[in-house]
Amino acid sequence: MYIKIQAVDDVRVPPERLNDDLQVVAKEILQESLEGRLDKKIGLFIAITDLVDIKEGRIMVGDAGVYYETVFDTLVFRPKMQEIVEGEVVEIVEFGAFVEIGPLDGLLHISQITDEYISYDEKGARLTTKDTGRVLGEGDKIRARIVAISLNERDPSESKIGLTMRQPGLGKLEWIEEERAKKKEEEKEKAKKKDKDKDKDKDKDKEEKKEEEKKDKKQKKREKGSTKKKEE
């Protein structure tokens, strides 16, 4: 999602700033020209962090400015297909929810929220599941997977990112915790039942052992009795 990369760009320093500190000027120009800009291959430029190297300046015929090839470190936002992200619901609409994931919003279509039927409450700005009564509203934190990406370089805000929560481990964070607690409780119950079954098996083994001992005693008595008769 957020990654730090090293990039190269030509920085044009205007004539009126040629006497200023080149490091400061170059960084300011890069910040003005790149931060907030979207490149489909690189991502959305968030911040120019450091200048690594500035090559010797070049001049162009008919241009009073000087061009410097500059190597710099930058933080970019780069959404990836199938990536799991967390974000906040910023708007509820009839067809789903818009989720803020970093500097861009993703669309969580109503069909990608859950397997249940969902009703839309316009006044309350929320979506409610029919069977479990779970509610998704503005401000809720969710975990989802990116399933579609369409980036708009001209207007980054018009970029489209499709999300889904219809997979294990995804959903509203509260729902995930509820499912986790439920699973933990089920595992406890299974463990208890297993222990009870073990105890029952132990008791059964004890009873069977007692019966075997009784049979052995009876057999020994019989053998002892028959031996005495033979001696007489």
- Supply 220's token pair: 């020994």
pLDDT at position 204: 73
Which carries the bigger pLDDT value, residue 220 or residue 137? 137
Mean per-residue pLDDT of the chain:
91
Contacting residues for 139 by C-beta, under 8 A, at least 6 apart: 88, 89
The mean per-residue pLDDT over the stretch 6-16 comes to 96
Instruction: Give the pair of three-digit tokens for residue 53.
Output: 């190297």
The predicted structure's pLDDT at residue 8: 96
Mean pLDDT value of segment 116-144 = 96
- Superfamily covering domain 84-178: Nucleic acid-binding proteins (2.40.50.140)
pTM of the prediction? 0.74
**Torsion sign across C-alpha atoms 63, 66, 67, 73:** negative
CATH superfamily ID and name for 2-77: RNA polymerase Rpb7-like, N-terminal domain (3.30.1490.120)
Domain-by-domain residue ranges, the chain? 2-77, 84-178
Task: Give the separation between CA 47 and CA 86, rounded to whole angstroms.
Answer: 21
Q: Which residue has the tokens 């959305």?
A: 44
99-126: per-residue pLDDT in tens? 999 999 999 999 999 999 999 999 999 9
